[in-house]
Amino acid sequence: MTGRLYIPRDAAALALGADAVAAAFAGADVEIVRTGSRGLFWLEPMIEVATPAGRIAYGPVTAADVPGLLAAGMLTGGAHALRLGRPEEIPFLARQTRLAFARCGIVDPLSIEDYRAHGGLKGLARARELGPAATIEEVTQSGLRGRGGAGFPTGIKWKTTADAPGHRKYIVCNADEGDSGTYADRMLMEGDPFGLIEGMAIAGLAIGASKGYVYTRSEYPHAIATFDAALKIARREGLLGDGFDIEQRVGAGAYVCGEETSLLESLEGKRGQVRAKPPLPAHHGLFGMPTAINNLISLASVPSILADGAAAYKDIGYGRSRGTMPIQLAGNLKYPGLFEAGFGLTLGEIVNDIGGGTATGRPIRAVQVGGPLGAYFPPSLFDTPFDYEAFTALNGLIGHGGVVVFDDTVDMAHQARFALEFCSIESCGKCTPCRIGSVRGVEVIDKIMAGTNVDANLALLTDLCHTMKFGSLCALGGFVTFPVMSALIHFAEDFRRPVTQAAA
């Protein structure tokens, strides 16, 4: 073998032809390692070759480029138009602080040796030394908050679960990553599944759980397959099985099952309908037992907190938002990708400096942060720091860290209508404001868009949003008002467009 080549097997890289690229190297004298993605999607498939000077990246590579790359001596890092140099020096990566994603795109996701060689299992070893109470204290001190968007302190959730009486306890990982614009869970499960397994093993130890469930959405078949394979390896290696095991369960296309109580109902084999809280899952969770339910990224952040100490994690961040967040740049951007960094970057820095503005080259008009329940921000709010509190103060949310950019061709009345239509499709039906309100909301926006009694219907829509926000049982009906009201407030002109003949 003359060398070693790293080609991603991440679903997005596959969608852009990574398998064909790998096949094109079949005749070359080179070992191919399939990795996750580094998350620089405008450069995918981005392949890397091991050289004495470190890895050298090339991208975006198509199968047709391969003969030329080989002729240019790419297996020894030779010059070529697609040569990107050392990946760590690409500005998009060099500016990041990768903790949860430290190994993603670098290691063979199903090699436990690779995982160990890149710092894996140190956190679990330290947790075992510390014991449950000190492990929880470490996580509390780190300031880690729920990365699903609610931002509840993870350590406090764990302590509540640990203290709750129960002969059986569960740790549940929410990998039902349904928000449009988010793909961090998918990337991590495909690129570094042992990171999640280690995080859950630490959580299980901390709260005294005997069983862990990972609830993965069915839309992620590659993540499901990689994670199941990783679980088998972890059992074989003795990482699981001795008093604590993890099982993966697959969702069935219901967005609302990303809501924690609905997820628990679904895991129990029921309709994914929201439960009223209290009781909290920490007291009365899966099958009525004390359950810590955490977002995948929260759990994947834990190993580095234990390995490097709470202080190192807490030193990163902004305000009460400590540590790093994998921001997922999506939609109409020149440089879309995963950007893990400390909290506090402004929205403008994120979409313009890092994301490079729109892919279409047109001006940015709106940025939706935090998925389909997140607010739409106009450029006038681009100085908002990426932080739980700052976004809440503006009637928005950071959610799971998805940032979706729209150019100036977007019709914001249409986007507001879509938010409510989506809610009407995905409502679990348990509470009236969400179930009925979303349907009525679509009807009212249709009247506004048709130019019927616009003022009265805008007032009605605002009133309806108020009812849904404060009357809904969970975030679906409550927060769907964020995209609607932000569109109404920041893009009011779109709701008063002259009705064209075609639309009438």
Partner 1 sequence: MAEDELWNRQRAADIIAAEAGREGAALPILHALQAEFGFVPRDAVPMIAAALNITRAEMHGIVTFYHDFREHPPGRHVLRLCRAEACQSMGAEALAAHTCARLGVDWHGTTPDGAVTLEPVFCLGLCAIGPAGMMDGRPLGRLDATRVDAELAAAT
Which residue in 35, 154, 261, 328 binds partner 1 (CB under 8 A)? 328
Phi–psi pair at 58, nearest 5 degrees: -135, 140
Residue 169, SS3? coil
Residue closer to partner 1 by CB (options 101, 183) is 183
Strands (E), 68-225: 83-85, 170-175, 211-216
- Looking at the DSSP bridge assignments, the partners of residue 175 are 216
Candidates 121-129, 214-222, 235-243, 458-466 — which segment interacts with partner 1 by CB under 8 A? Answer: 214-222
Q: Minimum Å distance from CB 189 to partner 1?
A: 10
Task: Identify whether the C-beta of residue 37 lies closer than 8 Å to the C-beta of residue 60.
Answer: no
Residue 371 beta carbon to partner 1: minimum distance, rounded to whole angstroms: 8
Of the candidates 142, 106, 407, 499, the one whose C-alpha atom is nearest the C-alpha of residue 298 is 142
**What is the spatial order of strands in the sheet that 402-407 belongs to?**
338-342, 324-331, 402-407, 364-369, 376-377
The residue from 405, 442, 473, 487 that contacts partner 1 (CB under 8 A) is 405
Q: Is 36 in the site for partner 1 (CB under 8 A)?
A: no
Interface residues for partner 1 in 90-129 (CB under 8 A)?
Answer: none
Question: Is residue 399 part of the contact set for partner 1 (CB under 8 A)?
Answer: no
**Of residues 114 and 407, the one with the C-beta less far from partner 1:** 407
User: Contact at 8 Å (CB) between 197 and 239?
Assistant: yes
The CA distance from 289 to 17, in Å, is 45
Rounded least distance, CB 141 to partner 1, Å:
32
Q: How many chain residues are in contact with partner 1, going by CB under 8 A? A: 62
* Token code pair at residue 426: 């995905």
Q: Which two three-digit tokens encode residue 329?
A: 């740049």
Query: Considering the complex, what minimum distance in angstroms separates the CB of residue 42 from partner 1?
Result: 8
Sequence letter at residue 363: P
Asked whether the beta carbons of 17 and 44 are under 8 A apart, the reply is: no
The CA distance from 263 to 273, in Å, is 8
Site for partner 1 contains 442 (CB under 8 A): no
Decide whether 341 or 428 has the Cβ nearer to partner 1: 428
Say which DSSP state 153 is in. B
Q: Is 351 one of the binding residues for partner 1 (CB under 8 A)?
A: no
Site map for partner 1, 297-316, x if CB under 8 A?
--------------------
Check binding of 272 to partner 1 (CB under 8 A): yes
Q: Which residues bind partner 1 (CB under 8 A)?
A: 11-12, 14-16, 41-42, 44, 177-183, 185-187, 218-223, 249-255, 266-273, 287, 328-333, 336-337, 359, 368, 372, 402, 404-407, 410, 415, 418, 422, 426, 428
